[in-house]
Chains A and B, each alone.
Chain A
Amino acid sequence: MNAVSDNPAVELRGVHKWYGQHQVLRDVSLRVSRGERIVICGPSGSGKSTLIRCINRLEEHQQGHIFVDGVELTTDLRKIDEIRRDVGMVFQHFNLFSHLTVLENLTLAPVWARKMPKKEADDLALHYLTRVKIPEQAGKYPGQLSGGQQQRVAIARALCMNPKIMLFDEPTSALDPEMVKEVLDTMVQLAQDGMTMLCVTHEMGFARQVADRIAFMDAGQIVEMNSPDEFFARPRHPRTQEFLSQILH
Chain B
Amino acid sequence: MSELAQAPHVAYGQKPSLPAPTARSRGLIHIFFGDLLSVCLTIATGALLLALLPKVLDWAILSGVWDGDGAACKGGGACWAFLRDKYRQILFGVYPANEQWRPAAATAMILAVALWSLPPRNWTRTTLTLWLVCMAAVLGLMSGGIFGLASVPTTSWGGIVITLLLTVSAIGLGFPIAVVLALGRRSKMKVVSLISVSVVEIVRGLPLLSLLFIASILLPLMLPDGVSIDKLLRAMVALTLFSAVYLAEVLRGGLQGVPSGQAEAAHALGLGWWHTTRLVVLPQAIRKVIPPLTNTVIVMVKNTSLVLVVGLFDLLSSGRAAATDPAWPAPYVESYLFVATIYFAICFSISRYAYWLESRGADNAR
Which A residues lie at the B interface, using CB under 8 A? 56, 58, 77, 81-82, 84-89, 91, 93, 95-99, 108-109, 112-114, 141-144, 154, 157-158, 161
Q: How far is the CB of B238 from chain A (nearest CB, A)?
A: 34
Complex interface residues of chain B between 235 and 269 (CB less than 8 A to chain A): 259, 261-262, 264-269
B264 contacts A108, C-beta separation under 8 Å: no
B365 contacts A141, C-beta separation under 8 Å: yes
* Bound form: Cα–Cα A81–B275 in Å: 12
Residue from the list A85, A95, A143 in contact with B265, Cβ < 8 A? A95
* Bound form: Cα–Cα A48–B280 in Å: 27
From A91, A112, A144, residue with most partner B Cβ within 10 Å: A112
A81 contacts B265, C-beta separation under 8 Å: no
By a CB distance below 8 angstroms, the chain A residues around B265 are 89, 91, 95-97, 154
Judge if B22 is at the interface, Cβ distance under 8 Å.
no
* Bound form: Cα–Cα A84–B264 in Å: 11
Instruction: Assign chain B's interface to a size class.
Output: 20 to 34
Residue from the list B259, B271, B272, B364 in contact with A99, Cβ < 8 A? B364
Q: Give the residue name and chain of the A residue nearest to B269 (CB).
A: A109
* 29 A–B contacts from the bound complex (CB under 8 Å): A58-B264, A81-B270, A85-B269, A85-B270, A87-B268, A88-B268, A89-B268, A91-B265, A91-B268, A93-B261, A95-B265, A97-B280, A98-B262, A98-B284, A99-B283, A99-B284, A99-B287, A108-B266, A109-B270, A112-B271, A113-B269, A113-B270, A113-B271, A113-B272, A141-B366, A143-B364, A143-B366, A154-B265, A161-B270
* Bound form: Cα–Cα A142–B266 in Å: 15
Q: Give the residue name and chain of the B residue nearest to A143 (CB).
A: B366
Which B residues lie at the A interface, using CB under 8 A? 259, 261-262, 264-272, 275, 279-280, 283-284, 287, 361, 364-366
Q: How far is the CB of B286 from chain A (nearest CB, A)?
A: 10
Q: How far is the CB of A111 from chain B (nearest CB, A)?
A: 9
Q: How far is the CB of B212 from chain A (nearest CB, A)?
A: 38
What are the 3 tightest A-B residue pairs by CB atom distance, in nearest-first order?
A85-B270, A95-B265, A109-B269
* Bound form: Cα–Cα A98–B361 in Å: 10
A112 contacts B268, C-beta separation under 8 Å: no
Q: Give the residue name and chain of the A residue nearest to B361 (CB).
A: A99
Known contacts A77-B272, A95-B261; A58/B267 CB under 8 A: yes
* Bound form: Cα–Cα A239–B116 in Å: 67
* Bound form: Cα–Cα A154–B259 in Å: 16
A84 contacts B365, C-beta separation under 8 Å: no
A56 contacts B268, C-beta separation under 8 Å: yes
By a CB distance below 8 angstroms, the chain A residues around B268 are 56, 58, 84, 87-89, 91, 158
By a CB distance below 8 angstroms, the chain B residues around A108 are 266, 269, 271, 279-280
From B264, B268, B361, B365, residue with most partner A Cβ within 10 Å: B268
By a CB distance below 8 angstroms, the chain A residues around B259 are 95
Q: Give the residue name and chain of the A residue nearest to B365 (CB).
A: A98
B269 contacts A84, C-beta separation under 8 Å: yes
* Bound form: Cα–Cα A86–B269 in Å: 8
A84 contacts B267, C-beta separation under 8 Å: yes
* Bound form: Cα–Cα A50–B228 in Å: 59
* Bound form: Cα–Cα A144–B259 in Å: 19
A99 contacts B267, C-beta separation under 8 Å: no
By a CB distance below 8 angstroms, the chain B residues around A109 are 266, 269-271
